[in-house]
Amino acid sequence: MRFLLVVFSAICLTGCMNQKSRQFKNYLIGDWRIENPTLQSVIRFEESGKTTYFMNRYSYQLDSLAQIGKWSLDEIRKGKYTDTFIVSIDKQPQKTIFQFITIDKDKIKVIDEQGQTFFTRIQKN
């Protein structure tokens, strides 16, 4: 009986984590402006796992001079009020691990080894 309870609990926990994973991936898809005042960089997350980094708004508007890599959701860390999503972006020259904390539907707090910044969703017209 205890064995069945443990198995049922594991299945429920796995289902909840998969649902959160799908929700976050759907949330992340799109173009995000990186809030650094000098470059006005943009990063695009695609459903296929491709990511495109534009150094400034001009390269974003022209869709040129971009760095291309792959992104993946590696881990979800359960928080007291909000969860932290661990995302790795594999592009040259190295793989970078980011911690994403959702602020609202159009804003993310991003933490890496160099500090923290915010991403704001770019609304397509």
Of residues 58 and 30, which shows the higher confidence score?
Answer: 30
Query: What confidence category does residue 5 fall into, taking pLDDT thresholds of 50, 70 and 90?
Result: very low
Mean predicted lDDT score pLDDT of the chain: 81
Q: Indicate whether 100 pLDDT > 50.
A: yes
Three-class SS of residue 7? Answer: helix
pLDDT at 50: 93
User: Could you give the count of Cα atoms lying within 13 Å of 125 in the half-sphere of its Cβ?
Assistant: 0
Out of 8-17, 22-31, 71-80, 86-95, which region has the weakest mean confidence (pLDDT)?
8-17
Cα separation of 34 and 122, whole Å?
A: 10
Q: In which element (H, E) is residue 124 found?
A: none
- Give me the mean pLDDT over the 90-100 stretch: 84
- Give me the mean pLDDT over the 110-123 stretch: 89
Q: Indicate whether 29 pLDDT > 90.
A: yes
- Which residues make beta-bridge pairs with 67? 53
Does pTM top 0.75 for this prediction? yes
- Name the one residue in this structure whose structure tokens are 């799109």: 30
- Name the one residue in this structure whose structure tokens are 């291309």: 68
**Contact status, residue 99 vs residue 118, Cβ threshold 8 Å:** no
Cα separation of 95 and 24, whole Å?
A: 21
